[in-house]
Amino acid sequence: MIDITDIRKSFGDNQVLKGISATFKPGVSTLIIGGSGSGKTTLMKCMVGLHQPDSGMVTYDGRDFTSLSFDERIDIRKEIGMLFQSSALFDSMCVEKNILFPLNMFSDMSKAEKKDRVNFVLERVNLAGKNKLFPAELSGGMKKRVGIARAIAMNPKYLFCDEPNSGLDPKTSILIDELIQEITAENNITTIVVTHDMNSVMGIGEHIIFLHQGQKWWEGSNQQITSTNNKELNEFVFATKLMETLLKK
């Protein structure tokens, strides 16, 4: 479980997060939605410590994260897996080396065990046999999936995914959503997914947080999201031509 209380963050005069509090439960993927530039990535980076929030607190299962130094954070970081918006695979390493990297650094597994783990996670993201390809040889969707494989290689307790399905076709993006949800449920992971994809919202949106103007504007589930009369949320939800057409019918 992750708790955040009153997170605030500004870049210069640009106040991006204006006091956000929320609770993220294990075994559930919480979706953070909001327009482009609404601060979703910034919030996520504040939570994992890539940005230092100006004020506020982040706790991982009761362990206060914000006040720790870099060295003290390492124990919690080993329990975090993160998929970046840009995948952030290591260019100089092949797929297998990318996934092996955290294992080599931190686990005491034998060579064979590590190899098995790599093959297991690759199979999990439907990329079995692609071990020796380099990031430059992968499509955007494949990179995302390798990113997920690397994020789950260490069996994380907390999984952060920044736009796991941006730039993917609807079918692949549903596969990735389902994959994230399955992994979350199977391993009781506390998962946080940043997205602005309404397909994901309707598909896996058990718990949704809508960010608007640096604040938590709305919180609920995908059951509730279509029936709320929150104006800004409705504008966000029904912004697509597809929705418009469906609504007219």
Partner 1 sequence: MLFYHFGKYILLLKSVFKKPEKFSIYQEEIFREMVDIGLGSLGIISIISVFIGAVTTVQTAFQLVSDLIPKSVIGGITRDSTILELSPTICSLVLAGKIGSSIASQIGTMRVTEQIDALEIMGINAPGYLILPKVTAGIIMVPMLVIVSIFLSITGGYLAGTASGAVTAAEFVQGLTTNFNPFTVTIAMVKAVTFAIIITTVSAYQGFYTDGGALEVGQASTKAVVISCIAILAADYIIAQLLL
Ligand X SMILES: Nc1ncnc2c1ncn2[C@@H]1O[C@H](COP(=O)(O)OP(=O)(O)OP(=O)(O)O)[C@@H](O)[C@H]1O
Part in contact with Mg ion (CB under 5 A); list of ranges 41-49, 114-122, 173-181, 200-208: 41-49
Which of residues 89 and 176 has its CB atom nearest to partner 1 in the complex?
89
Residue 41 binds Mg ion (CB under 5 A): yes
- The nearest distance, CB 142 to ligand X, in angstroms, is 21
Q: For residue 5, what is the enclosing H or E element?
A: strand 2-11
Task: Give the CA distances from residue 211 to residues 42, 75, 143, 178, 190, in Å, rounded to whole numbers and listed in that order.
Answer: 11, 30, 27, 23, 19
Q: For binding to partner 1 (CB under 8 A), which residues are involved?
A: 45, 48-50, 70, 73-75, 77-78, 80, 82, 84-86, 88-91, 101-102, 104-106, 154
The candidate with the shortest Cα–Cα distance to 26, out of 165, 204, 183, 178, is: 183
193 touches, from partner 1, Mg ion, ligand X, none (C-beta below 5 to 8 Å by class): none
CB-facing half-sphere around the CA of 243: CA atoms within 13 A: 12
Cα gap 146→141, rounded to integer Å: 9
Location of structure tokens 């995948």: 87
Site for ligand X, rule CB under 6 A: 11, 14, 16, 34, 36-42, 196
Contacts of 23 (CB under 8 A, 6+ apart): 1, 2, 3, 4
Least distance CB 246 / partner 1 (angstroms): 36
144 binds, among partner 1, Mg ion, ligand X, none (CB under 5 to 8 A by kind): none
Amino acid at 196: H
Rounded least distance, CB 65 to partner 1, Å: 12
Nearer to partner 1, 79 or 232 (CB): 79
- Residues, the chain: 249
Binding site for Mg ion (CB under 5 A): 41
